[in-house]
Structures are given as structure tokens and as C-alpha cells.
């Protein structure tokens, strides 16, 4: 069992609202990445944080933003939610290139 935990596990939001998803990294991992997994698709890279700084970003608009804290935990914030933002959001902490995933947060935008 990995040490990456995400909260909440499920969330329902209304279009236009804002959401914050949280991730607690595995102990000793200083890199955290966020992925969006739409139904029937592979995980799509959103961005990565390394020692509290953004270190790479995928093809996602600026309303997707994040933070990494000194203890290496992380948040994903999404503003102005759209229906297409409905997906499973995965957090992964990594060390030496191997990523360990959390169980994900299922976000539904209605």
C-alpha cells in the first residue's frame, strides 16, 4: 500500500464554482504530479511540483493551478469549473522517476 492519500474521494460541484483537491505525498518524496483521467482515457499530465515550485505543465488552462507545501503535500485548484472538468484527478508523488499514485478524487461538475 502506497503512502499517497487524496481528499476528498468524491466531490460534486456546480459549473462556475471553484474546487480545491488535496494530496499528501509519500514520505521522502519531493516531487508531486497531478493528472486528470477522463472516463476511458489514460491519465493526462496537468503539472508537476518539485520542492514547492512548478516544474512542468501539460496542456491545461491557467484556471488549473497548484501549490506544494514545505512538507511536500500539494493542492490542485480549479477555478470557473466547466462540465468537461468532470474526471478522476490523480496525484502521484515520485522519487527517482517512479510515481506512486493516490486513489484519486472523483470530481463531478453539474
Partner 1 sequence: AQRVTQPEKLLSVFKGAPVELKCNYSYSGSPELFWYVQYSRQRLQLLLRHISRESIKGFTADLNKGETSFHLKKPFAQEEDSAMYYCALGGMNRDDKIIFGKGTRLHILP
Nearer to partner 1, 70 or 97 (CB): 97
**Binding residue for partner 1 (CB under 8 A) from 48, 74, 93, 105?**
48
Answer yes or no whether residue 58 interacts with partner 1 by CB under 8 A: yes
Let me know if 74 is exposed, middle or buried by CB neighbors in 10 A (0-12, 13-18, 19+).
buried
CB 33 within 8 A of CB 92: yes
Task: Indicate the residue among 14 and 96 with the shorter CB distance to partner 1.
Answer: 96
Q: Does 71 bind partner 1 (CB under 8 A)?
A: no
Nearest distance from C-beta of residue 44 to partner 1, angstroms: 8
- From the CB of 32, what's the least distance to partner 1, in Å? 11
| Cβ distance to partner 1 smaller for residue 92 or 109 | 92
DSSP of 45-104, one letter per residue? EEEEEETTEEEEE-S--TTEEEEE-TTS-EEEEE-S--GGG-EEEEEEEEETTEEEE---
Amino acid at each position: 500500500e502506497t503512502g499517497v492519500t487524496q481528499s476528498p474521494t468524491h466531490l460534486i460541484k456546480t459549473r462556475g464554482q471553484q474546487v480545491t483537491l488535496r494530496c499528501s505525498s509519500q514520505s521522502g518524496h519531493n516531487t508531486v504530479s497531478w493528472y486528470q483521467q477522463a472516463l476511458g482515457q489514460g491519465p493526462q499530465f496537468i503539472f508537476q511540483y518539485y520542492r514547492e515550485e512548478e516544474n512542468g505543465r501539460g496542456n491545461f488552462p491557467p484556471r488549473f493551478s497548484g501549490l506544494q507545501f514545505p512538507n511536500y503535500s500539494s493542492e490542485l485548484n480549479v477555478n470557473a469549473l466547466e462540465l468537461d472538468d468532470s474526471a478522476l484527478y490523480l496525484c502521484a508523488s515520485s522519487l527517482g522517476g517512479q510515481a506512486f499514485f493516490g486513489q484519486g478524487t472523483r470530481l463531478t461538475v453539474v
